[in-house]
Amino acid sequence: MTRWTSDIFRQIRPHHLLRTILNPKRAIRELKYRYTFTRKEEFCATLSGAPLKRVHELLQELRDQVTFTDTVKEGLNNLKPGANRGEMGDEADILYVLTRLLKPQQILETGVGAGVSSAYMLQALHMNGSGRLTSIDLPDEGGLSGWAVPTELHKYWDLYLGSSSELLEKVLNELTSIDIFLHDSDHSYGNMMYEFMTAWPFIRSGGLFHAHDVGRNDALFDFCKAAGIPWTRVRTYPVLGGIRKDGVQ
CA pair distance 17, 12, nearest whole angstrom: 7
CB atoms within 10 A of CB 4: 8
pLDDT tens-digit map of 32-86: 888 899 999 999 999 999 999 999 999 999 999 999 999 999 988 876 655 555 5
pLDDT class of 14 with cuts at 50, 70, 90 = low
CB atoms within 10 A of CB 39: 11
CA pair distance 210, 194, nearest whole angstrom: 14
Please give the residue that has the higher pLDDT: either 18 or 140. 140
Please give the residue that has the higher pLDDT: either 142 or 7. 142
What's residue 246's pLDDT?
83
pLDDT at 150 over 90: yes
In the predicted model, what is the mean pLDDT of residues 162-184? 97
Domain boundaries, the chain: 14-244
What is the rounded average pLDDT for all residues in the chain? 88
What's residue 126's pLDDT?
98
pLDDT class of 249 with cuts at 50, 70, 90 = very low
Pairing of strands 178-183, 106-110: parallel
What would you report as the CA-atom Rg of the chain, rounded to the nearest whole angstrom?
18
Please give the residue that has the higher pLDDT: either 140 or 153. 153
What's residue 231's pLDDT?
93
Please give the residue that has the higher pLDDT: either 158 or 3. 158
Contact 116, 124 (CB under 8 A): no
pTM for the whole thing?
0.87
pLDDT tens-digit map of 197-245: 999 999 999 999 999 999 889 999 999 999 999 999 999 998 999 999 9
The third-level CATH classification (topology) of the domain covering 14-244 is: Rossmann fold (3.40.50)
3-state class percentages of the chain: helix first, strand second, coil last, to nearest 5 = 55, 15, 30
Contact 138, 185 (CB under 8 A): yes
Return the closest-CA partner of residue 168 out of 143, 193, 189, 205.
193
Phi, psi of 80 (to 5 degrees): -110, 165
What's residue 199's pLDDT?
98
What's residue 33's pLDDT?
85
